[in-house]
Amino acid sequence: MEQKVVEELKSIMGDHWVVTEIDSLRDYLVDETPELIRPEPGVDSVLVKPVHPGEISDILKYANREHISVIPRGGGTGLCATATDPRPSIILSLERMNRILEVDEGNLAVRPLK
């Protein structure tokens, strides 16, 4: 990923939550799609791990402005290669979004802590 993209994401997230090292990215580049039919992922990607909805908003605004694809990442258990993109991408891991303030069952919505 271009250094200017990484620097902008670090300004949104902080250095610790923006990952570019391939060894640390490898598990985030694919889901559980069988290897024989899984597309080859783009290794020139960057992983971000936001904790607040505002961080996600800022990341998406930036990606939209710069025309960078964003791959939302949950548990990586998908079976249809939706966690794979051959283009350089921002992988948006939701693993730190684990604090829930309220569950609205009627509207099927969850409100996270800010």
Domain CATH code at residue 10: 3.30.43.10
User: Domain range for residue 54?
Assistant: 3-112
Domain count along the chain: 1
Is the four-CA dihedral 57, 62, 66, 69 of positive or negative sign?
A: negative
- pLDDT tens, residue order, the chain (114 aa): 899 999 999 999 899 999 999 898 888 888 888 888 888 887 889 999 998 889 999 999 999 999 999 999 887 766 777 777 788 899 999 888 877 777 888 888 877 666
Tokens describing residue 110 = 């969850």
CA R_g for the chain: 15
14 C-beta neighbours (distance < 10 Å), count: 12
